[in-house]
């Protein structure tokens, strides 16, 4: 039986976050000690590692909730789990594209600035005047 602190150390998930996940219904309400403290078992450790891993991949809580529900029906086809992952991959790629555009624009703005006075600062001027931008954003 693990305390919430033990569970936290083993999974790298902070104590308040574990309680938050319980509140959100991602992990079942733990058994309690006589003094009302949460007590966990291996089962909970695995569940929490699963959640942690999914969060690290950037999945949001509703998606994780769905994956957990799916994982409890081993006989079903896994198209839904695949779809969650594939949708997320698309979202990740879109974010990358947006950030790359920002990267280029920032590089361009910075490289154009001669670093003298605010009056001539390309950073400030570029922000003031959208016409100085390269692409649309």
Partner DNA sequence: CTTGAAGCTCTAGTCACTGGAGGAATTATC
Partner DNA sequence: GATAATTCCTCCAGTGACTAGAGCTTCAAG
Q: Return the bridge partners of 31, or none.
A: 39
Q: By CB under 8 A, is residue 6 in contact with a copy of itself? A: no
Q: Which is nearer to a copy of itself, 1 or 69 (CB)?
A: 69
Question: Which partner from the list a copy of itself, DNA, none does 115 bind, CB cut-off 5 to 8 Å by kind?
Answer: a copy of itself
Token pair of 1 as six digits: 């039986």
What are the angstrom distances between the C-alpha of 69 and each of 26, 62, 78, 80, 85?
Answer: 10, 11, 12, 11, 15
Q: Report d(CA 111, CA 90) in Å as an integer.
A: 32
For binding to a copy of itself (CB under 8 A), which residues are involved? 46, 49-50, 53-54, 56-58, 67, 70-71, 73-79, 81-82, 84-86, 88-89, 92-93, 95-96, 99-100, 102-103, 105-107, 109-110, 113, 115-121, 123-124, 126-128, 130, 133, 137
């Amino acid at each position: 039986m693990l305390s919430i602190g033990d569970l936290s150390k083993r999974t790298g998930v902070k104590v308040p976050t574990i309680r938050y996940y319980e509140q959100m219904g991602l992990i079942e309400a733990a058994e309690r000690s006589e003094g009302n403290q949460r007590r966990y078992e291996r089962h909970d450790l695995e569940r929490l590692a699963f959640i942690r891993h999914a969060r690290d991949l950037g999945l949001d809580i509703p998606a994780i909730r769905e994956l957990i529900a799916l994982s409890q029906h081993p006989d079903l086809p896994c198209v839904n789990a695949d779809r969650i992952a594939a949708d997320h991959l698309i979202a990740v790629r879109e974010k990358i594209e947006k950030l790359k555009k920002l990267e280029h624009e920032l590089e361009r703005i910075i490289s154009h600035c001669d670093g003298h006075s605010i009056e001539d600062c390309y950073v400030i001027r570029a922000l003031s005047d959208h016409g100085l931008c390269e692409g649309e954003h």
